Structure 1
Protein backbone atom coordinates (compact mmCIF):
# COMPACT_ATOMS: atom_id res chain seq x y z
CA UNK A 1 0.00 0.00 0.00
CA UNK A 2 1.41 3.40 -0.91
CA UNK A 3 2.17 5.96 1.77
CA UNK A 4 -0.39 8.35 0.29
CA UNK A 5 -3.10 5.67 0.43
CA UNK A 6 -2.18 4.93 4.06
CA UNK A 7 -2.48 8.64 4.90
CA UNK A 8 -5.84 8.91 3.10
CA UNK A 9 -7.19 5.91 5.04
CA UNK A 10 -5.91 7.40 8.31
CA UNK A 11 -7.63 10.72 7.54
CA UNK A 12 -10.89 8.87 6.83
CA UNK A 13 -10.64 7.02 10.13
CA UNK A 14 -9.85 10.29 11.90
CA UNK A 15 -13.05 11.83 10.51
CA UNK A 16 -15.08 8.72 11.43
CA UNK A 17 -14.00 9.28 15.04
CA UNK A 18 -15.15 12.90 15.04
CA UNK A 19 -11.86 14.66 14.37
CA UNK A 20 -11.92 17.48 11.84
CA UNK A 21 -9.51 17.46 8.93
CA UNK A 22 -6.79 20.08 9.16
CA UNK A 23 -3.62 20.50 7.14
CA UNK A 24 -1.68 20.31 10.42
CA UNK A 25 -3.13 16.89 11.27
CA UNK A 26 -2.41 15.62 7.77
CA UNK A 27 1.18 16.88 8.02
CA UNK A 28 1.61 15.29 11.45
CA UNK A 29 0.46 11.91 10.12
CA UNK A 30 2.59 12.28 6.98
CA UNK A 31 5.66 13.12 9.06
CA UNK A 32 5.23 9.99 11.16
CA UNK A 33 4.50 7.80 8.12
CA UNK A 34 7.67 9.02 6.41
CA UNK A 35 9.76 8.63 9.57
CA UNK A 36 8.69 4.96 9.79
CA UNK A 37 10.02 4.70 13.35
CA UNK A 38 9.02 5.51 16.89
CA UNK A 39 9.32 9.27 17.32
CA UNK A 40 9.03 11.40 20.44
CA UNK A 41 6.44 14.16 20.82
CA UNK A 42 9.37 16.57 21.07
CA UNK A 43 10.69 15.50 17.65
CA UNK A 44 7.21 15.88 16.14
CA UNK A 45 6.85 19.30 17.78
CA UNK A 46 10.23 20.46 16.45
CA UNK A 47 9.23 19.47 12.91
CA UNK A 48 5.71 20.90 13.11
CA UNK A 49 6.83 24.20 14.67
CA UNK A 50 9.07 24.77 11.64
CA UNK A 51 6.02 24.38 9.41
CA UNK A 52 3.46 26.21 11.57
CA UNK A 53 4.62 29.03 13.81
CA UNK A 54 2.78 29.28 17.09
CA UNK A 55 1.76 25.61 17.29
CA UNK A 56 1.99 24.42 20.89
CA UNK A 57 3.62 21.31 22.28
CA UNK A 58 0.37 20.53 24.14
CA UNK A 59 -1.57 20.52 20.85
CA UNK A 60 0.95 18.15 19.28
CA UNK A 61 0.91 15.80 22.27
CA UNK A 62 -2.89 15.81 22.50
CA UNK A 63 -3.19 14.90 18.81
CA UNK A 64 -0.60 12.14 19.15
CA UNK A 65 -2.45 10.68 22.13
CA UNK A 66 -5.87 11.02 20.46
CA UNK A 67 -4.61 9.33 17.30
CA UNK A 68 -3.06 6.57 19.36
CA UNK A 69 -6.40 6.03 21.13
CA UNK A 70 -8.15 5.45 17.77
CA UNK A 71 -5.28 3.22 16.53
CA UNK A 72 -3.87 5.53 13.87
CA UNK A 73 -0.62 5.52 15.81
CA UNK A 74 1.19 2.95 17.88
CA UNK A 75 2.88 4.07 21.05
CA UNK A 76 5.60 2.70 23.25
CA UNK A 77 7.74 3.98 26.08
CA UNK A 78 11.45 3.81 26.59
CA UNK A 79 13.89 5.90 28.57
CA UNK A 80 10.89 7.34 30.40
CA UNK A 81 9.44 8.92 27.26
CA UNK A 82 6.41 8.06 25.15
CA UNK A 83 7.17 7.55 21.48
CA UNK A 84 4.74 7.25 18.59
CA UNK A 85 4.80 5.77 15.10
CA UNK A 86 2.34 5.57 12.26
CA UNK A 87 0.34 2.38 12.75
CA UNK A 88 1.47 -0.65 10.84
CA UNK A 89 -1.19 -1.98 8.51
CA UNK A 90 -2.25 -5.09 10.42
CA UNK A 91 -4.56 -6.23 7.62
CA UNK A 92 -1.58 -6.82 5.34
CA UNK A 93 0.94 -7.77 8.00
CA UNK A 94 -1.08 -9.66 10.58
CA UNK A 95 -0.40 -9.68 14.31
CA UNK A 96 3.24 -8.85 15.01
CA UNK A 97 5.65 -7.13 17.38
CA UNK A 98 8.69 -4.90 16.98
CA UNK A 99 12.43 -4.70 17.41
CA UNK A 100 13.24 -1.05 18.20
CA UNK A 101 16.71 0.45 17.81
CA UNK A 102 17.48 2.43 20.95
CA UNK A 103 19.93 4.60 19.03
CA UNK A 104 18.08 5.70 15.86
CA UNK A 105 14.52 4.51 16.62
CA UNK A 106 14.29 2.32 13.52
CA UNK A 107 11.82 -0.51 13.85
CA UNK A 108 11.61 -3.94 12.38
CA UNK A 109 8.54 -6.15 12.50
CA UNK A 110 8.78 -9.48 14.30
CA UNK A 111 6.30 -11.96 12.82
CA UNK A 112 6.06 -14.15 15.89
CA UNK A 113 4.16 -13.78 19.12
CA UNK A 114 5.31 -15.34 22.39
CA UNK A 115 1.80 -15.31 23.88
CA UNK A 116 1.15 -19.01 23.26
CA UNK A 117 3.95 -19.80 25.68
CA UNK A 118 2.60 -17.40 28.30
CA UNK A 119 -0.97 -18.67 27.95
CA UNK A 120 0.26 -22.08 29.01
CA UNK A 121 2.05 -20.50 32.00
CA UNK A 122 -1.06 -18.54 33.04
CA UNK A 123 -3.73 -21.22 32.95
CA UNK A 124 -6.91 -20.00 34.59
CA UNK A 125 -6.08 -16.30 34.00
CA UNK A 126 -7.79 -14.02 31.52
CA UNK A 127 -5.24 -12.15 29.42
CA UNK A 128 -6.73 -8.83 28.29
CA UNK A 129 -3.87 -7.56 26.17
CA UNK A 130 -0.15 -7.64 25.72
CA UNK A 131 2.80 -5.78 24.28
CA UNK A 132 6.09 -7.36 23.31
CA UNK A 133 9.02 -5.28 22.13
CA UNK A 134 12.71 -5.99 21.81
CA UNK A 135 15.14 -3.11 22.26
CA UNK A 136 18.72 -2.98 20.99
CA UNK A 137 20.97 -1.56 18.28
CA UNK A 138 20.18 -2.09 14.59
CA UNK A 139 22.86 -3.21 12.14
CA UNK A 140 23.37 0.38 10.87
CA UNK A 141 24.00 1.75 14.36
CA UNK A 142 26.38 -1.09 15.20
CA UNK A 143 28.56 -0.21 12.17
CA UNK A 144 28.98 3.43 13.21
Structure 2
Protein backbone atom coordinates (compact mmCIF):
# COMPACT_ATOMS: atom_id res chain seq x y z
CA UNK A 1 0.00 0.00 0.00
CA UNK A 2 1.29 3.46 -0.89
CA UNK A 3 1.27 5.32 2.46
CA UNK A 4 0.98 8.81 0.93
CA UNK A 5 -2.03 7.84 -1.21
CA UNK A 6 -3.63 6.11 1.78
CA UNK A 7 -3.27 9.21 3.98
CA UNK A 8 -4.52 11.52 1.20
CA UNK A 9 -7.55 9.28 0.56
CA UNK A 10 -8.42 9.21 4.27
CA UNK A 11 -8.03 12.98 4.66
CA UNK A 12 -10.22 13.60 1.60
CA UNK A 13 -12.90 11.33 3.02
CA UNK A 14 -12.77 13.18 6.36
CA UNK A 15 -13.12 16.50 4.52
CA UNK A 16 -15.95 15.22 2.29
CA UNK A 17 -17.83 14.06 5.39
CA UNK A 18 -17.57 17.50 7.00
CA UNK A 19 -15.01 16.45 9.61
CA UNK A 20 -11.99 18.47 10.62
CA UNK A 21 -8.68 17.60 9.00
CA UNK A 22 -6.23 18.30 11.83
CA UNK A 23 -2.47 17.93 12.04
CA UNK A 24 -3.00 15.30 14.74
CA UNK A 25 -5.22 13.21 12.46
CA UNK A 26 -2.76 13.58 9.58
CA UNK A 27 0.12 12.44 11.78
CA UNK A 28 -1.80 9.51 13.25
CA UNK A 29 -2.86 8.25 9.81
CA UNK A 30 0.71 8.62 8.60
CA UNK A 31 2.06 6.62 11.56
CA UNK A 32 -0.41 3.79 10.93
CA UNK A 33 0.23 3.78 7.17
CA UNK A 34 4.03 3.80 7.46
CA UNK A 35 4.30 1.22 10.23
CA UNK A 36 5.75 -2.21 9.48
CA UNK A 37 3.62 -3.72 12.21
CA UNK A 38 0.19 -3.07 13.73
CA UNK A 39 0.40 -0.38 16.44
CA UNK A 40 -1.10 -0.31 19.93
CA UNK A 41 -2.87 2.82 21.13
CA UNK A 42 -0.01 3.40 23.60
CA UNK A 43 2.63 3.17 20.84
CA UNK A 44 0.70 5.72 18.79
CA UNK A 45 0.28 7.95 21.85
CA UNK A 46 4.03 7.91 22.63
CA UNK A 47 4.96 8.73 19.03
CA UNK A 48 2.32 11.45 18.75
CA UNK A 49 3.27 12.98 22.12
CA UNK A 50 6.70 13.92 20.70
CA UNK A 51 5.10 16.23 18.13
CA UNK A 52 2.01 17.23 20.15
CA UNK A 53 3.10 17.58 23.83
CA UNK A 54 -0.40 18.54 25.07
CA UNK A 55 -2.05 15.52 23.44
CA UNK A 56 -4.31 13.42 25.65
CA UNK A 57 -4.60 9.64 25.54
CA UNK A 58 -8.36 10.10 25.10
CA UNK A 59 -7.73 11.94 21.80
CA UNK A 60 -5.89 8.88 20.50
CA UNK A 61 -8.82 6.60 21.35
CA UNK A 62 -11.43 8.97 19.92
CA UNK A 63 -9.54 9.19 16.63
CA UNK A 64 -8.94 5.43 16.52
CA UNK A 65 -12.69 4.89 16.96
CA UNK A 66 -13.45 7.42 14.21
CA UNK A 67 -10.91 5.79 11.87
CA UNK A 68 -12.43 2.35 12.55
CA UNK A 69 -15.95 3.65 11.92
CA UNK A 70 -14.78 5.12 8.60
CA UNK A 71 -12.98 1.83 7.73
CA UNK A 72 -9.55 3.50 7.55
CA UNK A 73 -8.13 1.03 10.09
CA UNK A 74 -8.95 -2.31 11.64
CA UNK A 75 -7.99 -4.05 14.86
CA UNK A 76 -6.27 -7.32 15.53
CA UNK A 77 -5.64 -9.00 18.86
CA UNK A 78 -2.01 -10.02 19.29
CA UNK A 79 -1.15 -11.55 22.61
CA UNK A 80 -3.19 -9.53 25.09
CA UNK A 81 -2.97 -6.31 23.09
CA UNK A 82 -5.37 -4.69 20.66
CA UNK A 83 -3.40 -3.40 17.68
CA UNK A 84 -4.42 -1.14 14.82
CA UNK A 85 -3.44 -1.36 11.16
CA UNK A 86 -4.34 0.48 7.97
CA UNK A 87 -7.04 -0.86 5.67
CA UNK A 88 -6.48 -0.30 1.96
CA UNK A 89 -9.30 1.26 -0.10
CA UNK A 90 -9.73 -1.93 -2.09
CA UNK A 91 -9.38 -5.15 -0.19
CA UNK A 92 -6.89 -7.04 -2.32
CA UNK A 93 -6.52 -10.74 -1.61
CA UNK A 94 -3.88 -10.87 1.13
CA UNK A 95 -2.78 -13.15 3.88
CA UNK A 96 -0.93 -11.42 6.71
CA UNK A 97 1.73 -13.37 8.57
CA UNK A 98 2.28 -11.57 11.88
CA UNK A 99 5.33 -12.19 14.03
CA UNK A 100 4.41 -12.69 17.67
CA UNK A 101 7.80 -11.34 18.81
CA UNK A 102 8.52 -8.18 16.77
CA UNK A 103 4.88 -7.69 15.57
CA UNK A 104 6.03 -7.26 11.95
CA UNK A 105 3.33 -8.09 9.37
CA UNK A 106 4.38 -9.80 6.14
CA UNK A 107 1.71 -9.58 3.43
CA UNK A 108 1.36 -12.24 0.75
CA UNK A 109 -1.10 -12.06 -2.14
CA UNK A 110 -3.29 -15.06 -2.89
CA UNK A 111 -6.19 -16.03 -5.14
CA UNK A 112 -9.32 -16.60 -2.99
CA UNK A 113 -10.95 -18.60 -5.80
CA UNK A 114 -8.24 -21.25 -5.25
CA UNK A 115 -7.74 -21.31 -1.48
CA UNK A 116 -5.49 -23.89 0.12
CA UNK A 117 -8.17 -24.56 2.72
CA UNK A 118 -11.57 -26.24 2.24
CA UNK A 119 -14.50 -24.10 1.05
CA UNK A 120 -18.09 -25.41 1.15
CA UNK A 121 -19.69 -25.64 -2.30
CA UNK A 122 -22.81 -23.83 -1.12
CA UNK A 123 -20.88 -20.73 -0.07
CA UNK A 124 -19.69 -17.72 -2.08
CA UNK A 125 -17.02 -15.65 -0.37
CA UNK A 126 -17.30 -11.85 -0.80
CA UNK A 127 -14.91 -10.63 1.87
CA UNK A 128 -12.27 -12.24 4.01
CA UNK A 129 -9.55 -11.59 6.54
CA UNK A 130 -6.79 -14.07 7.13
CA UNK A 131 -4.05 -13.48 9.69
CA UNK A 132 -1.53 -16.16 10.57
CA UNK A 133 0.52 -15.75 13.74
CA UNK A 134 4.00 -17.15 14.26
CA UNK A 135 7.64 -16.01 14.21
CA UNK A 136 9.58 -14.24 11.46
CA UNK A 137 13.02 -15.37 10.33
CA UNK A 138 14.77 -12.42 12.06
CA UNK A 139 13.26 -13.27 15.44
CA UNK A 140 14.07 -16.96 14.98
CA UNK A 141 17.67 -16.16 14.00
CA UNK A 142 18.06 -14.22 17.29
CA UNK A 143 17.27 -17.48 19.08
CA UNK A 144 14.06 -16.37 20.78
CA UNK A 145 11.68 -18.68 18.91
CA UNK A 146 11.59 -21.93 16.95
CA UNK A 147 13.62 -21.90 13.72
CA UNK A 148 11.94 -20.92 10.44
CA UNK A 149 12.29 -23.66 7.84
TM-score, normalization: structure 2?
0.78
SS of structure 2 residue aligned to 1:119: coil
Residues 95, 2 of structure 1: CA spacing in aligned structure 2 closer, same or farther, 3 A cutoff?
closer
Q: Please report how far the alpha carbon of residue 116 of structure 1 lies from its aligned counterpart in structure 2 after TM superposition.
A: 7.0
What is the CA–CA distance in structure 1 between the aligned matches of 2:65 and 2:125, rounded to whole Å? 24
What is the CA–CA distance in structure 2 between the aligned matches of 1:89 and 1:32, rounded to whole Å? 14
Give 2:85's aligned residue: 85
Give 1:65's aligned residue: 65
Question: Does 2:132 match 1:131?
Answer: no
TM-score, normalization: structure 1?
0.80
Give 1:54's aligned residue: 54
What is the CA–CA distance in structure 1 between the aligned matches of 2:36 and 2:89, rounded to whole Å? 12
Give 2:101's aligned residue: 103
1:140 to 135, 138, 141: 138
Give 1:32's aligned residue: 32
**Unaligned regions of 5+ residues in structure 1, if any?**
none
CA offsets per residue over residues 32-67 of structure 1, 9 Å max, x none?
112132010010001111111121112101211221
What is the CA–CA distance in structure 1 between the aligned matches of 2:86 and 2:80, rounded to whole Å? 20
What number of residue pairs does the alignment pair up? 139
Where is the helix percentage greater, Structure 1 or Structure 2? Answer: 1
For the 8 Å contact 2:96–2:105, the answer to whether it is kept is yes
Q: Please report how far the alpha carbon of residue 115 of structure 1 lies from its aligned counterpart in structure 2 after TM superposition.
A: 9.3
**Unaligned regions of 5+ residues in structure 2, if any?**
143-149
Q: Please report how far the alpha carbon of residue 71 of structure 1 lies from its aligned counterpart in structure 2 after TM superposition.
A: 1.5
What is the CA–CA distance in structure 2 between the aligned matches of 1:116 and 1:139, rounded to whole Å? 24
For the 8 Å contact 1:36–1:86, the answer to whether it is kept is no
What is the CA–CA distance in structure 2 between the aligned matches of 1:12 and 1:115, rounded to whole Å? 38
Residues 56, 101 of structure 1: CA spacing in aligned structure 2 closer, same or farther, 3 A cutoff?
same
